[in-house]
Amino acid sequence: MGVLTELKLQAQSILHKEDAHSETPESLLELQRSRVIDSLRNVYDYMHELLDQLHLVKPVIPVDYQFNDELRIDGLEQKNYEIHVRSSYDDDVVGFLLKLECKDNISLSLDSSQSSQEYIRTIKNAGCLIAEQSTRNLELQGMIPVRIYFKSNFQENRVYVIIDNYTSIGSQQYSIKSEAINEQLLNEFGNLILRRESSFIELLENARSDSSQVVKIHDADSVDDLDRTTLTQNMSESRIKSLFTRGQHLYLTYRERITEVSSRSNDLMFGRSKGSNIIVDADCVSRHHAKLVYRKGKFVVVDQSTNGSFIKTQGGQEVFIQNEEYPLSGSGFISLGKTVSVDNEHLIYFSCQ
């Protein structure tokens, strides 16, 4: 585990504990900032894995594109995948960019009305490049940029999702809670990129707040200054399936010691026994109190104690289990034999990645 990951996980643990003691605007904003950054990091990690696999697999993805109401372009090829990242203290953006290309220019008919001038501005804002222009005709270079951005809103604990030119020229904009960015959403994002059947837009529609305002991102340098990679070979069925096989990770923080667990790790034991992976020396804790296993895509806490275990997820209710199992999701606290509270010195902070 890298230094930045370790520091970030320690900071998250501290922020969660501070939030239990204080509800000041400053502490709330820092907690929300931590949650949004965590979500965007998951987005970036998934995009990076997706990009790596696309470079290896080199799929050919033909696209039939409805440019506008009158013009449909058949036989475009999707290629040149890129990741764009912009980060500052007040604003984080992660974007996945690609291009739809054809050999010939794209021809459009124009009239002399004001609406034509507005249409040309729309095309330019979409990132299309004009090859030739006359009074009646417009020739565009045979390239349509497609961009999907995830942008932070720390004040509202939200993430803006902006989709440019995916099915036609124009932008779709959504505002979702940071916790809506989960494994299902990211998997459907991958399906969207591969032009497979995807519920990504539907998930965004269900998660968004209609009252939230979304600011369109314009960054002229985001596309042209990055290296290009052309993907031309066919994708085999087995490699398509393996594209979304992602190793799961869980980080456990106890008394500033961080333990990283992967989906390939052996079972992990909590308890007072010196043979435990995480030793919790408290009277309410059994020698072999509980174990952590990975099963069916989830990290699961299996209690085997006298006093039971308490689990509280971020924003959720506390759950008590005794000789039972409970799957972990998101982030939160595990407490052995005692309820989760601000005066509990033996809280174990967990974060699923």
Domain ranges of the chain: 3-103+142-243, 249-352
pLDDT tens-place string over residues 186-216: 999 999 999 999 999 999 998 864 444 333 3
Structure confidence at residue 69 (pLDDT): 78
Cβ-in-10-Å burial (0-12, 13-18, 19+) of 65 comes to buried
DSSP 18: H
Q: Looking at per-residue confidence, does 315 or 284 come out higher?
A: 284
Confidence category of residue 68, pLDDT binned at 50, 70, 90: confident
Report whether pLDDT(252) > 80: yes
Topology, domain 249-352: Tumour Suppressor Smad4 (2.60.200)
Q: Please give the span between the terminal C-alpha atoms of the chain, in angstroms, as a whole number.
A: 13
Fill in the amino acid letter for 296: K
Angle at 305 between CA 301 and CA 308, to 5 degrees: 70
Query: Is 297 or 238 the better-scoring residue by pLDDT?
Result: 297
User: Among 35, 19, 275, 308, which residue's Cα sits nearest to residue 179?
Assistant: 35
SS3 at position 240: helix
Task: State the average pLDDT for the chain.
Answer: 81
- Structure tokens, 26: 């400053």
Return the pLDDT at 319. 94
Tens of pLDDT along 218-228?
343 333 333 33
Q: How confident is the model at residue 17 (pLDDT cuts 50, 70, 90)?
A: low
Predicted TM-score (pTM) of this structure: 0.54
Within 8 A by CB and 6+ apart from 284, the residues are 307, 336, 337, 338
Q: Looking at residue 6, what is its pLDDT?
A: 66
- For residues 49 and 13, give the distance between their C-alpha atoms in angstroms, rounded to a whole number: 27
